[in-house]
Amino acid sequence: MAKRGRPAGATSRLRKPENVAAHHANVLLELWLAGASVLDVQVMLFSLASDPTYRVMIEDCWRGRGNERRHTVPLWIKRKLCQLAVAHVVELRLDAILRKRTLAAESELRKQGWKDTQIVEILSAKAPDRINFEAPDLKKVLNIVNRRAPATTLRRKKANRRILRN
C-alpha cells in the first residue's frame, strides 16, 4: 500500500523563512565542519561579505575552527552562523520582492504602450517602495538547526563524558 501525504523533501517546509534560514545555516555548519576555506564562504555570501561586520563574523567563525578535525560545532559559532544565514535569507527575500515588483511595473507600462527606453527612465525616476518583511527569529532558527540535521552530515552528537572524582 502506498504512503499517503506529502513525500519527504517536499517544499512546504521551505516556505517559512525560519526553515529557509535553518537550511542555509545547516549548509554553513557543514562547510565549517568540512574545513572549507574562508574565501569559499565569502564567495558564497558575497553580498554579506562586502559588509565589514559580516566579514568579521565569517572570519571569527573560521578562525575559531583551528586545524584539527571537528565533529561538533561550538554553540557560539553555531549562533554566529545562524545570524549569517538569517541575514542572507532576508537579503535574498528582499531582492526577490524588488525584482518581482520591477517586473510587474515593467509589464504594466508595456501594456500602456510605453517603449523600453521610456520604461527605464520612468522606473529609474520612481522612488523605491517600502518593503515590509519580517526577519526570521534567530532563536527559532537555532532550535531548528539543533533539532534537524541533514541526512548525510559530518556532525556527531556530543559525547557525554563524566568526570570521575577520587
Domain ranges of the chain: 17-94+135-147
Percent of the chain with pLDDT over 70: 85
* Contact status, residue 79 vs residue 135, Cβ threshold 8 Å: no
CA angle (100 as vertex; 97, 101 as ends), nearest 5: 85
From the list 13, 23, 65, the residue with the least C-alpha distance to 149 is 23
> Would you say how long the chain is, in residues?
166
Average confidence score pLDDT of the chain: 82
Cα end-to-end distance, the chain, whole Å: 59
* Contact status, residue 137 vs residue 16, Cβ threshold 8 Å: no
DSSP letters for 53-85: HHHHHHHHHHHTT-SS--SS--HHHHHHHHHHH
Q: What is the pTM of this model?
A: 0.74
Instruction: Quick: pLDDT tens for 76-123.
Output: 999 999 999 999 999 888 888 888 988 898 898 889 888 888 888 888
Average pLDDT over residues 44-52: 84
